Chain A
Amino acid sequence: MNTRRWYPVLLPAALFLIVFFVWPEVQFLRLSFEEYQGQARSGGGPTLRNYTDVLSDPFLRKGILTTLRLSAIVAVITALVSYPLAIAIVRAGPRLARAMFVIVVSSMFMSGVVRALGWRVLLGDSGMVNDVLLALHVVDTPVTLYGSFTGVTIGMVHLLIPYAVLGIIPIVESVSPQLLQASYGMGASRPYTFFRVTLPITARGLIAPLLLVFALTAGAFTTPTLLGGGRVGVLSIYIREQTLMLLNYPRGAVYAAILLVLVFAVFLAGFLASGRRARRAKRRGPAATEVTP
């Protein structure tokens, strides 16, 4: 087939995306520059007022900071706890590895709403987590977990561990077993091998899953809604409130635009980081992780 005949094959999908994805995005961005003219009405402009309103008022601005803080904390915790899980899955025997993998992935298959409802029972003031904390005398009075930033963080970490584990497994697999054998064979202990061999090789690979988790948290809606109890205002909750409850479409569009820019910046950072890594690897020659016998 010659070159030109391929384009029509792409046409159905391209048209669908242009009409129902690209076009609406452009429209809502335009909406964010229109004037708010009472409930569900807008027009005129273009004006920057919607943006300056949101960015200058500490109360309206708060959602941006909460989203950033939540995403950063969730990303770091998720990456830290997913790392040992990925190592366990890669290095365990086939049966155990498969069992662990099924546990990790099957929790991913559970609806996010259902998982949040499970956490809601556990995180309540008289829930099991508080019972255990009280029984162990870690705390004297119940800690507010449901309806707090901490509760949302726990739910989000739980939600995103499978994504991070799936992302980290190939990185851990890239550490050649011979390298570990060499280290053990020369008398190095397991912790020493971990800190001097495994960790240095895999550390940079954690950046991509970390950024993915950050982006997914920033856009999350279910968990902050169900575990925040209306007290953890992230951007997705602001968007729902402004558009579906207050019918202030331009302001809702502003929050959506800010969220879009935020997530886009994270993906861009990830793209640049992976690009730099690839370039450096090319300069250095064959990757250090590959050992030829």
Chain B
Amino acid sequence: MTTVMQAPPATGDTAVVVPPSRSSARLDRIWRIGFGVIVAALLLFLLAPLVVVILTAFNDRLVAFPPQGWSLESFRNVPGYMFEALWLSVRVAALATVIAMLLAFPATIALVRGEMRGKAALLAFFQSPLQVPAIVQGLALYQLYIALNPWGVALRGSFTGLLIGHVILVFPFILNAMLGRVAAIDTNLELASYGLGAGFLRTTWLVTLPLMRPALIAAGFLAFLVSFDDTSISLFLTQVGGATLPLTLLYTSEQALSPMLYAMSAIVVVFSLVLALVVDRVFGLRTVMSRD
């Protein structure tokens, strides 16, 4: 039996307390069970493709779920270019995150602490890449690189060119996370630092920056994943032979499906899962993922 909410004691003669009726208790139980079933089904729906990817990787020859013949063969068959693609993705994501942070940090301090005209407009400007689909940004950068080519700037298909695209991609995520955190910092701490004779740079470095550390880690983590997941921008900024990991998986799957493809995917799933669990243990996912 479900426990029925105790009605609050009546405080006056006029207060009428209706005791929960029997039929309402039964209705409540049906409602709760139905709700639980729906939520469980949705959680299963969320997990399904991840489980499928991991198990499919253990097929020996065919791509099937449940697997037809169990084997670790597919993991041995992952070609070297897949790991090169993984390494490229990791490098781009890590560097783009760091560069975007270096760009966003001073901007954040100025946007939150600075006194200037047109702050709202500046803020909107800095966040505007979020409003442009990544595929459009990719196309636009691709056209820019083509236009720059005759001028001796060879960004097309280069690592730097790809990196620039990813910095633009992750910049607004990092900026938003930093803005929320700096705005929440108690300004008295900074004022105390000024009062003790520290200058602006010293205060920012020794007071503001350490206070922002959780936000920096959270933002960096999110940015890494956004960059690591991207196909839209990389599609235009890499060549088929030297693409990032998600794109290499996409290109390969457009040719044919093979257990090897799923072995590599399973490696990525485990990698991301470990990352997510570590973040949850150390920081708590909810604190990291809540926007402000």
Query: Which residues from chain A sit less than 8 Å from chain B, CB to CB?
Result: 1, 3, 6-7, 9-10, 12-14, 16-17, 20-21, 23-25, 27-28, 31, 81, 84-85, 87-88, 98, 100-107, 109-115, 117-122, 127-128, 158, 161-162, 166, 181, 184-191, 194, 215, 218-219, 221-222, 225-226, 236, 239-240, 243-244, 249, 252-253, 256, 259-260, 263-264, 267
Among A23, A28, A188, A259, the most chain B Cβ lie within 10 Å of the Cβ of A28
Interface residues of B in 222-261 (CB under 8 A from A): 225, 228-229, 231-232, 235-236, 245-247, 249-250, 253-254, 257, 261
Among residues of A, the one whose C-beta sits closest to the C-beta of B291 is A166
Min CB distance, A241 to chain B, in Å? Answer: 12
- The answer to the question of B151 belonging to the interface, with a C-beta cut-off of 8 Å to chain A, is no
Question: Inside 8 A of A249's CB, which chain B residues have their CB?
Answer: 143
Interface size on B, residues (CB 8 A): 101
Which residue of chain B is the closest to A6 with respect to CB atoms? B114
Interface of B toward A, CB cutoff 8 Å: 5-8, 17-21, 24, 27-28, 31-32, 35, 38-39, 42-43, 45-53, 56, 63-66, 102-104, 106-107, 109-111, 114-117, 122, 125-126, 128-129, 131-137, 139-144, 147, 164-165, 167-168, 171, 200, 225, 228-229, 231-232, 235-236, 245-247, 249-250, 253-254, 257, 261-262, 265, 268-269, 272-273, 275-277, 280, 285-286, 289-291
Q: Are A166 and B289 in contact (CB under 8 A)?
A: yes
Closest 6 interchain pairs by CB? A118-B49, A219-B133, A6-B114, A187-B18, A24-B140, A184-B5
Closest to A11 in B: B106
Q: Is A111 a contact partner of B246 (Cβ separation < 8 A)?
A: yes
Contact A121:B52 (CB < 8 A) given known A103-B43, A166-B289: yes
Q: Which of B38, B42, B167 has the largest number of chain A CB atoms within 10 A? A: B42
Cα A109 to Cα B31 with chains together (Å)? 32
A264 touching B131 in the complex, CB below 8 Å, given contacts A115-B50, A117-B53, A222-B250: yes
* Chain A interface, >50% SS class: helix
Q: Once the chains bind, are A13 and B27 in contact (CB under 8 Å)?
A: no
A6 and B110 contact, Cβ closer than 8 Å, known pairs A31-B143, A107-B46, A187-B7: yes
Known: A1-B200, A260-B133, A263-B133. A243 touches B139 (CB 8 A): yes
Residue of A nearest to B29 (CB): A190
Taking a contact as CB atoms under 8 Å apart, the answer to whether B42 and A81 are in contact is yes
The answer to whether B49 and A127 have CB atoms under 8 Å apart is no
Which residues from chain A contact B126 at a C-beta distance below 8 Å?
13-14, 17
Report the separation of the CA atoms of residues A117 and B128 in the bound assembly, to the nearest whole angstrom.
Answer: 31
Residues of A within 8 A of B35 (CB): 84, 87-88
- If A13-B171, A107-B47 touch, does A24 touch B5 (CB 8 Å cutoff)? no
11 A–B contacts, CB within 8 A, in A order:
A9-B109, A9-B114, A14-B107, A109-B273, A110-B272, A111-B272, A114-B49, A118-B50, A186-B7, A190-B32, A260-B133
Complex contact A119–B103 (CB within 8 A):
no
Least CB distance from A40 to B in Å reads 8
B114 and A113 form a contact (CB under 8 A): no
Nearest CB of B to A236, in Å: 5
With A27-B143, A112-B229, A222-B231 in contact, do A256 and B20 touch (Cβ < 8 Å)?
Answer: no
Contacting residue for A110 out of B125, B269, B290, CB 8 A? B269
A263 touches B132 (CB 8 A): yes
- Residue in chain B with minimal CB distance to A24: B140
* Residues in A neighbouring B28, C-beta threshold 8 A: 189-191
Shortest distance between the CB of A57 and any CB in chain B (Å): 21
Query: Among B8, B24, B139, B142, which residue has the most Cβ atoms of chain A within 10 A?
Result: B139
A109-B225, A111-B268 in contact; A10/B262 too (CB < 8 A)?
Answer: no
Out of A121, A244, A260, which one reaches B132, CB within 8 Å?
Answer: A260
Q: B247 CB to closest chain A CB, in angstroms? A: 8
A17 to B124, CA, bound (A): 12
Distance A90 CA – B226 CA, assembled complex (angstroms): 26
14 further contact pairs, Cβ within 8 A, besides A219-B134, A264-B131:
A3-B116, A17-B168, A28-B143, A98-B285, A105-B276, A109-B272, A110-B273, A113-B246, A113-B249, A122-B48, A122-B65, A128-B65, A189-B27, A189-B28
Q: What's the Cα separation between A84 and B42 when bound, in Å? A: 9
Chain B residues within an 8 Å CB radius of A128: 52, 65-66
Interchain CA distance A9-B122 in the complex, whole Å: 13
Contact A187:B265 (CB < 8 A) given known A101-B285, A121-B64: no
